[in-house]
Amino acid sequence: MARLLIFFSKMAYKAQRTLFQGGFTSDIEKAIDPDIVISRYGRMWRFSKPIYKHEFVMGKLGYMTSGKETKTYYDEKRKDFIEQPVDMKQGHYVQWVVDLSTQVIAFETKPPDIRYQSFVGAFKDLLNENPDTNLTIESIVESDKFFEWAKKVDRVTKFTAKLRTPNPDFASRPRIIRELLEDTDADSAKVEINKNRESDGTLNTEKTIRDLVEYGEEGYSTVIAHGFKDGTRRIFDSKRQTPIERIDVFLPIGVEKIWNHIVQALKKFRK
């Protein structure tokens, strides 16, 4: 029995628009290019050819490394066993799936070879090789976790939200988002709300702060908050609240089964 770790992030557009930006599906088709290779920390990363199934696109992301390996052979002339170094390549990969309807990407990790941050970093760098698509990966803020944290502390004294423009427009966005970004024609904004440590009471998290936190559920904001519990400072950082699904599986497990697990996790994540 082994444990399959599936992480969730958000495929999103960068704040600055481009004239060549198309629809999300067509941009994904351009961005996931198996012919592009990038180098990160001595590893040559690339995509596999993507597969499209209904509302999902799936593929692999991995790397190759070069090294030396000692091989033993028998030399008939010398009548002896000889060890000789030979060039070798070794590769590792993980599987990922993008839900085209929600723009959420789910992917497995295989520590220590491919961890969460190495996947995200390599995926972003490969996307950057196709700048016309304007795509990137961003963290998902789970608002329930923020409000759970807020209930556990005695008081919330500082709240900071970093916002960026939504895709495709501002329809149905909270008023504060439209006023900060749409009305000012800004690409990004930072909101910081403070309560003096010496004063009594706590910040009200049920109105403006709730709007800012829930905006992050769609991948368009990150949140950091400070509070106190029994006189000790407590910090909430949405970047550390990465959603994850843990699935127990029997080994060996094939590629198709892993993709099926990831797709089911994405469908569950929609709810």
The single-letter DSSP state of residue 249 is E
Highest mean pLDDT among 22-26, 165-169, 201-205: 201-205
Query: Is pLDDT of 129 > 60?
Result: yes
What is the distance, to the nearest Å, from the Cα of residue 200 to the centroid of all Cα atoms in its chain? 38
Query: Is pLDDT of 16 > 60?
Result: no
Residues whose CB falls within 8 Å of the CB of residue 32, separated by 6 or more in sequence, listed in order: 47, 50, 57, 59
Query: Is pLDDT of 145 > 90?
Result: no
CA distance 99 to 101: 5
- The mean pLDDT value for 242-270 works out to 90
Strands of the chain, DSSP E: 2-13, 38-40, 43-47, 51-53, 56-75, 80-99, 104-108, 135-138, 155-164, 188-194, 221-229, 232-237, 244-249
Place of tokens 């170094």: 85
Confidence label for 201 from pLDDT (cuts 50, 70 and 90): confident
Confidence label for 69 from pLDDT (cuts 50, 70 and 90): confident
- The mean pLDDT value for 7-17 works out to 80
CA distance 56 to 262: 11
CB 51 within 8 A of CB 96: no
User: pLDDT (tens digit, 9 = 90+) per residue, 85-96?
Assistant: 888 788 999 999
CB 227 within 8 A of CB 233: yes
User: pLDDT (tens digit, 9 = 90+) per residue, 171-192?
Assistant: 888 999 999 999 999 989 999 9
Backbone φ and ψ of 250, nearest 5°: -95, 135
Q: What is the pTM of this model?
A: 0.69
